[in-house]
């Protein structure tokens, strides 16, 4: 029987989000219903609400979540009722041109649930990133459920579902940071701080945090930064060079995603170093630079989608490291809020007061 539960929706562009009744169908073939235990508030939820992703309103928001499998549809054998899972937006297809070439992290045809969740009047909902987890329960594809150790607090574990994995993977997977590297991270929000934690985990010897907010720099140090640069009163490129023997860092991660921060990343990098863009620019942004600089400085200029992660490979390992005290994932949870506080949390996020607000049940 379809069930009616509470969910947070964005009904129209720019309008405040609403907590309302939504209808969850029974899971069909390949689908799973998950009872949500925690879901973080990510910028992308706000971007959906602002109409910045597409126009398929109403959206069921929320996508950084952990919970328990309630029921599974026909043919699902990867999870069963009672399993503790982190939801992901990269259920790889195994069939597309990227998957066939052994690069499933770039899968161009990831799976989501086939059936639609709806409002009580039958209006179909578009779940954010194919998840929609600001809800008591949600319907996803079985491949979107990654089993992890149930000892991990869901408010912490769920953050791997998006921003923390994106940042950590930008350093470890995309940037291939390794032992002895110097790393600079521009923008120390949840994503940038996760890149810092990832760089520490990978053995980087110098980790330079760059932000305009002194409080964010303090948090960055708690997560592993060895040096800080306040971008309001310093020339970022010169400061990073000064901290790296005059050369620049081996890997520079732009976790803001603006032309000026990307340029800083480009020039704050050592010759033949790597730039990783993980912050998401807006469509109006443009870059103008001498082409010769791209050639003469060499190296790699990369973008990172979801930290080039493979959830089945990465989530269980990161949760184990967290439980062993080797990765302070709990530091990303700044506040725990109720399901009807999402709108307020958007304002807190906008004001830069948190790494993550997490809705808990």
Using CB under 5 A as the criterion, which residues of the chain lie in contact with Zn ion when the complex forms?
A: 42, 44, 93, 96, 99, 107, 109, 162
Residue 306 near ligand NAD by CB under 6 A: yes
Residue 164 interacts with ligand NAD (CB under 6 A)? Answer: no
Q: How far is the CB of 153 from ligand NAD (least distance, A)?
A: 20
Among 186, 207, 225, 329, binds ligand NAD (CB under 6 A): 186
The listed partner (Zn ion, ligand NAD, none) that binds 107, CB under 5 to 8 Å by sort, is: Zn ion
Chosen from Zn ion, ligand NAD, none, partner binding at 93 (C-beta under 5 to 8 Å by type): Zn ion
Nearest distance in Å: CB 85, ligand NAD: 20
CB of residue 45 to ligand NAD, shortest distance in Å: 10
State the binding partner of 146 from Zn ion, ligand NAD, none, CB within 5 to 8 A by kind. Answer: none
Given ligand NAD, Zn ion, none, residue 306, with its beta carbon under 5 to 8 Å by kind, binds ligand NAD
Distance CA 134, CA 82 (A): 20
Interaction partner, residue 255 (Zn ion, ligand NAD, none; CB < 5-8 Å by kind): ligand NAD
CA-to-CA dists, residue 35 to 87, 91, 190, angstroms: 11, 19, 25
Which stretches of the chain are DSSP H helices?
43-49, 97-100, 154-157, 163-169, 190-201, 214-223, 236-242, 259-267, 291-297, 311-323, 342-350
CA 138 → CA 88, 118, 119, 150, distances in Å? 13, 11, 13, 19
The DSSP string of 207-224 is EEEEES-HHHHHHHHHHT
* β-strand partners of 303: 277
Residues 265-304 that bind ligand NAD (CB under 6 A): 278-280, 304
Alpha carbons within 13 angstroms on the beta-carbon side of residue 359 total 30
The entry of ligand NAD, Zn ion, none near residue 187 (CB within 5 to 8 angstroms by kind) is ligand NAD
Residue 188 binds what, of ligand NAD, Zn ion, none (CB under 5 to 8 Å, by partner type)? Answer: ligand NAD
Separate counts of helices (H) and strands (E) for the chain:
11, 18
The reply on whether position 211 binds ligand NAD by CB under 6 A is yes
Q: How far is Cα 78 from Cα 30, in angstroms, rounded to an integer? A: 10
> By rule CB under 6 A, what string of x and - marks binding of each residue 222-241 to ligand NAD?
---------x----------
Q: How far apart are the first and last CA of the chain?
A: 23
CB of 78 to Zn ion, least distance (A): 16
By CB atoms closer than 10 A (0-12, 13-18, 19+), residue 252 is buried
How many chain residues are in contact with ligand NAD, going by CB under 6 A?
28
Distances (CA, A) of 166 to 68, 112, 169, 191, 195: 23, 19, 5, 7, 8
Among positions 4, 347, 352, 361, the unique one binding ligand NAD when judged by CB under 6 A: 352
The residue ranges that bind ligand NAD (CB under 6 A) are 43, 162-163, 166, 186-192, 210-213, 216, 231, 255-257, 261, 278-280, 304-306, 352
């Amino acid at each position: 029987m379809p069930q009616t539960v509470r969910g947070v929706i964005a009904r129209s562009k720019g309008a405040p989000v609403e907590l309302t009744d939504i209808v969850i169908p029974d899971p069909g073939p390949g689908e799973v219903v998950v009872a949500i235990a925690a879901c973080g508030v990510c910028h992308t939820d706000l971007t959906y609400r602002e109409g910045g992703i597409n126009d398929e309103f109403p959206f069921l928001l929320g996508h950084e979540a952990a919970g328990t499998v309630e029921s599974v549809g026909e043919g699902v054998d990867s999870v069963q009722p009672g399993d503790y899972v982190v939801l992901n937006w990269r259920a790889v297809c195994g069939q597309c041109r990227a998957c066939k070439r052994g690069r499933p992290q770039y899968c161009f045809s990831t799976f989501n649930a086939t059936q639609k969740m709806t409002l009580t009047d039958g209006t179909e909902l578009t779940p954010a990133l194919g998840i929609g987890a600001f809800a008591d329960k949600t319907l996803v594809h079985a491949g979107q459920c990654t089993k992890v150790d149930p000892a991990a607090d869901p408010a912490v574990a769920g953050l791997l579902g998006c921003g923390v994995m994106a940042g950590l993977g930008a350093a470890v997977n995309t940037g291939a940071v390794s032992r002895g590297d110097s790393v600079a991270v521009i923008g120390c929000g949840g994503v940038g701080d996760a890149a810092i934690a990832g760089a520490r985990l990978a053995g980087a010897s110098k980790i330079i945090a760059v932000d305009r907010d002194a409080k964010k720099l303090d948090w960055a140090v708690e997560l592993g930064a060895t040096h800080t640069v306040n971008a309001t009163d310093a020339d970022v490129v010169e400061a990073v060079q000064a901290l790296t023997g005059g050369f620049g860092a081996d890997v520079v991660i732009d976790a803001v995603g603006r032309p000026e921060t990307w340029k800083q990343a480009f020039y704050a990098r050592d010759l033949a170093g790597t730039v990783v863009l993980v912050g998401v620019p807006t469509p109006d942004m443009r870059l103008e630079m001498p082409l010769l600089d791209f050639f003469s400085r060499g190296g790699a200029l990369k973008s990172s989608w979801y930290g080039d992660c493979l959830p089945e490979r990465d989530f269980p390992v990161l949760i184990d490291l967290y439980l062993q005290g080797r990765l302070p994932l709990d530091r990303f949870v700044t506040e725990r809020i109720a399901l009807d506080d999402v709108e307020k949390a958007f304002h807190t996020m906008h004001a830069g007061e948190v790494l993550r607000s997490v809705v808990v049940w």
